[in-house]
Structure 1
Amino acid sequence: MSSRQRCARAFAAFLAAALATVSTGAATACAASGRTPAVATTGGATVRTDAGSIRGRITGDQRLFRGIPYAAPPVGALRWASPEPVHPWTGTRQATEAAPRCAQNAEQGAASDAEDCLYLNVTTPARTDARHPLPVLVWVHGGGFFGGAGSDYDARRLAVRGRAIVVTVNYRLGVFGFFAHPALGRDGGDFGLEDQMAALRWTRRNAAAFGGDPRNVTLSGQSAGAFSTCALLTAPAAKGLFDKAIVQSGSCSVNYPKNGLAPGLPPYTPLMPREFAETFGKQSAAALGCATAADVLACLRKTPVNKLLPMTQRFAFPAYGTKVLPRRPADVLSGGDARPVPMIVGHNRDEMRLYVSAAQAQQPIDAARYRELLQDTFGADATRAERAYPASDAVAPALAWANVLTDRGWACPTRDDERTLARRAPVYAYEFADRDAPSVTPPTEGFPMGAAHGSELPYLWTPGRFTAAQQKLSDDMIRYWTAFARTGDPNQKGLPAWPRFDGRNGRTQSLAPGPHGIRSVDLTSARHCDLWAKTS
């Protein structure tokens, strides 16, 4: 079983146990900081940031700076506190090795017990020109809010082929990033999002030192990183920190119906009310013997990392009703109050096959089980759903169930957000549709993964084993993404035209390899969004 499948299964197992017991600023100016301003460069392995000089590495056509601190270590009294400024240093700091992953278990890769983890990485072309600063793309990694690291992503192709500055970020995860407790009040629940905002402020202050344009910053992310990006569109304190946004598989309104994340689970959304997280916080304090302490937070802050890590997946979501997210992000979007910036927004054709494959390993979904799930999930609407998504010799019941969940949980809620966002700013919608993409999990007989959750990532970052047609798709996607980072419009000469999304016609760019694989389509009817608008 792959790490992605383990992650999906682990997250589902956690929710099954946990939900049963619970009801359901403007950029900082250098002058204001009192620091030495960052200094623009035109190449070279040494760069002066506002906190001190760093030395990276030049490798062929790229410059790579790894492990740059953007905030003080969130340890001791700073555990579960807003990120503090990084302490300046003298001399030249080495920036050639990846920093530790933020504390996490092994579901998303290597385990880590590091709390001192607020570092980022910068990749640039080997030569930059201060007279012609490059667009800056800040990447927030996925991983369910409890795993992953910025150093997992090789930004060379985006930076070099796309002529961009790429920043990949670590942020606090799980119990360290999204812990809430009544003792924290509205401060709790979103420390990981605050880290991301601190990284954006660092980027505004220091982009020019790497040859980037601090006035042209695009915030982007996939999965948890996409939910973060969407949430920050609604966060008052994030105003002025980025100019454009790319949301890959994680719009604010994405949600799973009953049985959606796994059979037996109640409805779920990746953004939860603060009171929900506080319930887990109180349970955790009791389990650790801190609930009756004179100072609950002081007791918890003295608790060793290895005692907290087993609880990390209880806090695998940002909270709203906090100082960072005063309102539910989906409500902010639907009310037309999200920050109006140009956006690329999209999803993958077969998002939920990753999760259904994990459920399939537990209990195979045959025709009878498929009908049971439809009936239990949609009640009186089950017959209509089965009529729209029939199982057959060509479409196995498990694949039909995955199609139901993808369209109901991902495609149509994302379409709703695209419509709302497009009323106030340019939106370019996409669906990644390469059903022969290199598999993110070991193959399962009778269950092709298709364009599953995360399968677009190799096309932008570290490449997989591509056919010639897939390599061309990868090259075109990189050109689209970096053209958008440059101008707010993904279109450029030599690429198939990508029409701006118009809520009246729902045009979406389908991204697939081969002749006519990249084309504009209307997915509203193909994904049965009218059906799901009338179905719970």
Structure 2
Amino acid sequence: MNKRRVDVNVHEGKLIGIVEECVYGGNYIAFRGIPYAKPPVGELRFKDPVLPKPWSGSKDASKYGNNAVQMDKFSRQIIGNEDCLYLNVYTTNIDPEKKQPVMVWVHGGGFYIGSGDATSFGPDYIVKKEVVLVTLNYRLGVLGFLNLYDKVATGNQGLKDVVMALQWIQKNISNFGGDPRNVTIFGESAGAAIVHYLAISPVAEGLFHKAISQSGAATNPWAFTEREPPSTNKGFQLAEKLGKATTDAKVAYEFLKKIDVKKLIQTQEQDLLTVEEHQQFLLPFSPSMDNESSNPFFPKPIKTLINRGVKVPFIVGYTNAEGILFIGSDAFDLSTKEALKRVDSDFKSAILPRVLSKLPEIPITVEELRSIYFGDKAVSEETLKNYADFFSDEAFYPGLIEVVDIQIQSGHSSTYLYNLSYENEACPTRKIMNIRLPGVGHGEDLFYFFYPHMMKDLGFVPPESDSEQYKVINRCVQMWTDFAKTGNPTPTITDLIPVKWEPLKTGDTYNYLNIDAELRMKTFRKEEQRWNWKNMKMKL
């Protein structure tokens, strides 16, 4: 059966989108694979994005554009294409009486994997709430974040890709029925950190009006690369692994620019990080200071920008057991006693010393820190949850609460905090990643905002419309889209949303929305939290 086509004109030419069926009935219009920048290939590799060229005639927008080059986490094959700067627009009505709010999704994946297409991020739930949804791809890994601290490669190419996508949205989204004066950016994990970066950088000012960071922020230890000498700079190390040992940025750049892209990413993934770095989930490339750029994403020191706070209405939050995705799943092979013994040894000899070396102001020993989580026990099958707790506390919670503290101290009153604690054994993330520990792990929240189209291929059935899961999905999507419309996630109390989500207040308690089978406002004190050893207010 031929699907209905829909035309839209944008600055660069005419697009022909396609009408698709929503998973719970009704239709939406999809415009896929829209180029928002020139392909970043050849001389444009490692460079800031460049405006796209217009086209003549009509462009088929029924298929997704290429994903960014990356190693597929399941097949371990290199997939994607350097020519990857495409976005997708979904709407139910290109000519509404009143222009609709726009939500722009920035995918996560540690700055080195992922894409914005409907395999993971189907628009079915969000577009039903009269919102235009945009998803996008940006450059990943070395192609998106190579910084040689020289004007030949200044870093943050992937961040600037997202800025160019937001500029494209400002110019074109009204032709899809969207309101360019009411744009909300949202993302999860590395995507949430990118959202936070966009919200503090002058480069992106005025391109959006609200922000949501789910399980990630610029203040998380994995989200930023400090300036390093050539001997430890991952870009120079990558050139050396590929056969060019040099400390000259121009030589390294010219060499890396000509390497076959699959070889470049294969080496980044397989040879760049040590076994210990892989075990610590260290990232090969991430955002960094780009002072050498003629148009720096961070024109002031990162701490200065972070401490100014997010000036637009802002939702920030986390799942209640972020670390179980990494420690208690197939992401981390701990299937044998030998593997657990090795991790126990590395934990004492490498991981804890590394954590403490980055926190020199904290007067705590390796043994004292270990004792907080394990007492006198070893890392074993029995204590995996303890290890996952440590990982959550090191990698996520304190950094997210630091953002919250800055929001409170700088008087930005429209900041909302949440904790997603709805445990759901049927969550596709749990099944696909084989998560074996209790709690809600990193990334499980995505299922409550998007319908992943890969569910069809993997044999997952969408939740029944009278189920508890469906109710949680409907609630989450309602609050996020209400926030996009009004800047308030609970503008009216209804049967579906019977609780008012209060913004953060000043004082020594933190008020947050607990998202479970039932919604409830709760509070906590920082000094009572397990992760608070970083602030040393707890008694050791």
TM over 0.5: yes
User: Given that residues 217 and 223 in structure 2 are in contact (C-alpha distance below 8 angstroms), is that contact kept between their aligned partners in structure 1?
Assistant: no
Question: Aligned residue for 1:452?
Answer: 441
Question: Aligned residue for 2:481?
Answer: 482
Among 380, 383, 387, which residue is 2:365 paired with?
380
User: Given that residues 125 and 451 in structure 2 are in contact (C-alpha distance below 8 angstroms), is that contact kept between their aligned partners in structure 1?
Assistant: no
Q: Match of 1:405, as an amino acid?
A: F
Q: Deviations over 1:435-472 (max 9, x none)?
A: 33515245999942531110010110016654711211
Question: Aligned residue for 1:356?
Answer: 327
Structure-to-structure mapping, 1:455-470, within 5 angstroms: 455-462=444-451, 466=463, 468-470=467-469
Residue identity (%): 28
Question: Aligned residue for 1:522?
Answer: 524
User: Given that residues 156 and 290 in structure 2 are in contact (C-alpha distance below 8 angstroms), is that contact kept between their aligned partners in structure 1?
Assistant: no
**Deviation for aligned residue 1:344:** 0.6
Distance in 2, matches of 1:364 and 1:289, equals 35
Q: Deviations over 1:271-295 (max 9, x none)?
A: 1124368822222233434557985
User: Given that residues 491 and 498 in structure 1 are in contact (C-alpha distance below 8 angstroms), is that contact kept between their aligned partners in structure 2?
Assistant: yes
Distance in 2, matches of 1:481 and 1:124, equals 16
**Deviation for aligned residue 1:57:** 0.6
Distance in 1, matches of 2:86 and 2:209, equals 22
Among 370, 389, 395, which residue is 1:409 paired with?
395
User: Given that residues 366 and 397 in structure 1 are in contact (C-alpha distance below 8 angstroms), is that contact kept between their aligned partners in structure 2?
Assistant: no
- Is 1:421 the equivalent of 2:407? yes
Among 509, 514, 519, which residue is 1:510 paired with?
514
Distance in 1, matches of 2:261 and 2:184, equals 34
Q: Match of 2:237, as an amino acid?
A: Q
Question: Aligned residue for 1:308?
Answer: 264
User: Given that residues 108 and 148 in structure 1 are in contact (C-alpha distance below 8 angstroms), is that contact kept between their aligned partners in structure 2?
Assistant: no
SS at match of 2:84: coil
Among 230, 236, 259, which residue is 1:282 paired with?
236
Among 278, 297, 300, which residue is 1:324 paired with?
297
Q: Match of 1:522, as an amino acid?
A: F
C-alpha root-mean-square deviation of aligned residues, in Å? Answer: 3.3
Q: Deviations over 1:347-402 (max 9, x none)?
A: 1111111121216346337998799589766753755774577699xx94110221
SS at match of 2:51: coil
SS at match of 2:171: helix
**Deviation for aligned residue 1:159:** 3.4
User: Given that residues 69 and 262 in structure 2 are in contact (C-alpha distance below 8 angstroms), is that contact kept between their aligned partners in structure 1?
Assistant: no
Aligned residue pairs: how many?
A: 473
User: Given that residues 146 and 235 in structure 2 are in contact (C-alpha distance below 8 angstroms), is that contact kept between their aligned partners in structure 1?
Assistant: yes
Q: Match of 1:462, as an amino acid?
A: Y
Name whichever of 465-474 and 348-357 sits farther off.
Answer: 465-474
SS at match of 1:48: strand
User: Given that residues 439 and 449 in structure 1 are in contact (C-alpha distance below 8 angstroms), is that contact kept between their aligned partners in structure 2?
Assistant: no
**Deviation for aligned residue 1:413:** 2.2
Distance in 1, matches of 2:44 and 2:113, equals 21
Q: Deviations over 1:491-528 (max 9, x none)?
A: 13311211101242211111112xx3444343635633
Question: Aligned residue for 1:14?
Answer: none
**Deviation for aligned residue 1:157:** 3.1
Distance in 1, matches of 2:141 and 2:114, equals 11
User: Given that residues 370 and 401 in structure 1 are in contact (C-alpha distance below 8 angstroms), is that contact kept between their aligned partners in structure 2?
Assistant: no
Q: Deviations over 1:41-94 (max 9, x none)?
A: xx9711101111101011242111100000001111111111111100111100
SS at match of 1:233: helix
User: Given that residues 325 and 435 in structure 2 are in contact (C-alpha distance below 8 angstroms), is that contact kept between their aligned partners in structure 1?
Assistant: no
TM-score, normalised via structure 1 length: 0.79
Q: Match of 1:428, as an amino acid?
A: Y
Question: Aligned residue for 1:3?
Answer: none
Instruction: Decide whether aligned partners of structure 1 residues 372 and 311 sit closer, same or farther in structure 2, where only a CA change above 3 A counts.
Output: closer
Question: Aligned residue for 1:48?
Answer: 9
Instruction: Decide whether aligned partners of structure 1 residues 145 and 108 sit closer, same or farther in structure 2, where only a CA change above 3 A counts.
Output: farther
Instruction: Decide whether aligned partners of structure 1 residues 48 and 391 sit closer, same or farther in structure 2, where only a CA change above 3 A counts.
Output: farther
Question: Aligned residue for 1:499?
Answer: 502
Distance in 2, matches of 1:366 and 1:75, equals 42
**Deviation for aligned residue 1:131:** 3.7
For structure 2, which runs of at least 5 residues remain unmatched after alignment? 22-26, 273-283, 357-363, 453-459
Question: Aligned residue for 2:534?
Answer: 532
User: Given that residues 142 and 222 in structure 1 are in contact (C-alpha distance below 8 angstroms), is that contact kept between their aligned partners in structure 2?
Assistant: yes
**Deviation for aligned residue 1:342:** 0.7
Structure-to-structure mapping, 1:66-465, within 5 angstroms: 66-107=32-73, 111-125=78-92, 127-151=93-117, 152-184=119-151, 187-255=153-221, 269-275=222-228, 279-290=233-244, 296-313=252-269, 315-322=284-291, 323-327=296-300, 329-333=302-306, 335=307, 337-357=308-328, 358=332, 360-361=334-335, 363-364=339-340, 380=365, 382-383=367-368, 386=371, 396-422=382-408, 423-425=410-412, 426-437=414-425, 438=427, 440-442=429-431, 447-448=436-437, 450-462=439-451
Q: Match of 1:273, as an amino acid?
A: E
Distance in 2, matches of 1:46 and 1:402, equals 49
Distance in 2, matches of 1:346 and 1:360, equals 29
Distance in 1, matches of 2:56 and 2:159, equals 29
SS at match of 1:199: helix
Instruction: Decide whether aligned partners of structure 1 residues 216 and 449 sit closer, same or farther in structure 2, where only a CA change above 3 A counts.
Output: same
Among 19, 29, 39, which residue is 1:58 paired with?
19
Distance in 2, matches of 1:397 and 1:439, equals 25
SS at match of 1:58: strand
Question: Aligned residue for 2:280?
Answer: none
Distance in 1, matches of 2:60 and 2:434, equals 48
Q: Deviations over 1:181-210 (max 9, x none)?
A: 24436x521100010000000011111011
User: Given that residues 8 and 175 in structure 2 are in contact (C-alpha distance below 8 angstroms), is that contact kept between their aligned partners in structure 1?
Assistant: yes
Instruction: Decide whether aligned partners of structure 1 residues 245 and 195 sit closer, same or farther in structure 2, where only a CA change above 3 A counts.
Output: same
SS at match of 2:108: coil
SS at match of 2:186: strand
Q: Deviations over 1:459-488 (max 9, x none)?
A: 100166547112111100000100111111
User: Given that residues 412 and 527 in structure 1 are in contact (C-alpha distance below 8 angstroms), is that contact kept between their aligned partners in structure 2?
Assistant: no
